[in-house]
Amino acid sequence: MALASSVVGEEQPMEQRISIVTLGVKNLAVSRRFYVDGLSWKPVYEDKEIIFFQTGGMVFALFLRDKLAEDFQANPAAFGRAPMALAYNVRTKNEVDPLMRLAEAAGATVLKSARQATWGGYSGYFADPDGFAWEVAWNPNWRMTPDGSIHIPAPNKKSS
Amino acid sequence: MALASSVVGEEQPMEQRISIVTLGVKNLAVSRRFYVDGLSWKPVYEDKEIIFFQTGGMVFALFLRDKLAEDFQANPAAFGRAPMALAYNVRTKNEVDPLMRLAEAAGATVLKSARQATWGGYSGYFADPDGFAWEVAWNPNWRMTPDGSIHIPAPNKKSS
């Protein structure tokens, strides 16, 4: 059954949002052990190729990397360490160190132990089993709402 | 002034959320041209090293990749194509093709033209100037709220 091709109507903008973050992983059982058993994250769906987690209004996915490569028609041999990082911001500075320890106990590799950051906060980095970098950060300049959403305050205009 | 080391109190869980997605980019001006000029995304903060966008309750960052590498103490020579993808989900199938064209006009490379997906939706992939894969997806099985949040319905229990 042919589908009607899309109607070219008025231009829709691409809103400022990300719906899904998908990490390509080598071994789903290993990833599961880290995120589900280790960090106690609860999958909302899983099968042999993919695990989905509801993370607030978005979705975090762990997908076998060969399947992901196939999905966007990439050559998996070109994959390397991802030049990207995910961050998990906390409400108080005191949450950072215990979370770094929790991640380490779950099997993460500490990339950088938590320390004072030049931008005024306190943060550390760990790598998940596939080497994806996660920052655990306390940023006193950003506002966090009870649901964990973060909001960057608009910069103060300089008086001129 | 020494900061008190963190108090080891009761174990805090790592909530299921992502605060920031940071992509390490080679040239911030090129990235800016794509996301700001091309996709009309509005930075909430920018300097010579980093650009922050408020994306719903999270933050999307473009950061010079050498600075990012320094931040998590990685060797930038190990960076390769990121085995990950971001997805932007839309409300109706008809939004997919125009958004793929919009991205292409902004300088994206089409990795996979939009098509019917095996999972029942319709999607395509483009790469941003640094090769990061973005999927533009319509998924009729997921619920999207007016603010663009997506929610995976809990699976139906099989009767047994």
Read off the pLDDT band of A157 (50, 70, 90): low
**pLDDT tops 70 at residue A119:** yes
Q: Does A28 contact chain B (CB < 8 Å)?
A: no
- Residue B157 has a pLDDT of 53
C-beta of residue B62 within 8 angstroms of C-beta of residue B129 = no
H or E, element range at A23: strand A20-25
**pLDDT tops 80 at residue A160:** no
Instruction: Work out the mean pLDDT of chain A and round it to a whole number.
Output: 91
Share of chain A above pLDDT 70, in %: 90
B160 vs chain A: nearest CA distance in angstroms? 19
Strand order in the sheet with A20-25: A43-46, A50-55, A58-64, A20-25, B84-89, B133-138, B122-127, B109-116
**How far apart (Å, rounded) are the C-alpha atoms in residues B126 and B124?**
7
Q: Average of pLDDT values for A137-154?
A: 94
**Distance, first Cα to last Cα, chain B:** 63
**pLDDT tops 50 at residue A42:** yes
Per-residue pLDDT tens over the stretch B109-158: 999 999 999 999 999 999 999 999 999 999 999 999 999 999 999 876 55
Q: Average of pLDDT values for A32-59?
A: 97
- Residue A8 has a pLDDT of 45
A73 vs chain B: nearest CA distance in angstroms? 6
Contact at CB, A18 and B151, closer than 8 angstroms: no
**pLDDT tops 70 at residue B1:** no
**pLDDT tops 50 at residue A27:** yes
Measure Cα distances from B110 to A136, B106, B107 in Å. Answer: 34, 11, 9
Read off the pLDDT band of A10 (50, 70, 90): low
Contact at CB, B150 and A58, closer than 8 angstroms: yes
**How far apart (Å, rounded) are the C-alpha atoms in residues B61 and B46?**
10
**Higher local confidence (pLDDT), A148 or B154:** A148
- Residue A6 has a pLDDT of 40
Q: Average of pLDDT values for A135-154?
A: 94
Number of alpha carbons in the 13 Å side-chain half-sphere of residue A127? 18
B146 vs chain A: nearest CA distance in angstroms? 11
The interface predicted TM-score (ipTM) is: 0.91
Q: Average of pLDDT values for A98-108?
A: 97
Read off the pLDDT band of A156 (50, 70, 90): low
C-beta of residue A96 within 8 angstroms of C-beta of residue A116 = no
Lowest mean pLDDT among A51-55, A143-147, A152-156: A152-156
Q: Does A112 contact chain B (CB < 8 Å)?
A: yes
Cα B20 versus chain centre, distance: 9
Owner of token pair 């099989």: B158
Owner of token pair 């080679």: B26
Read off the pLDDT band of A12 (50, 70, 90): confident
Q: Average of pLDDT values for A130-137?
A: 98
Per-residue pLDDT tens over the stretch B20-70: 999 999 999 999 999 999 999 999 999 999 999 999 999 999 999 999 999
Residues 30-69, chain B, touching A (beta carbon < 8 A) = 39-42, 44-45, 52-60, 65, 68-69
- Residue A79 has a pLDDT of 96
Number of residues that make up chain B: 160
**pLDDT tops 70 at residue A3:** no
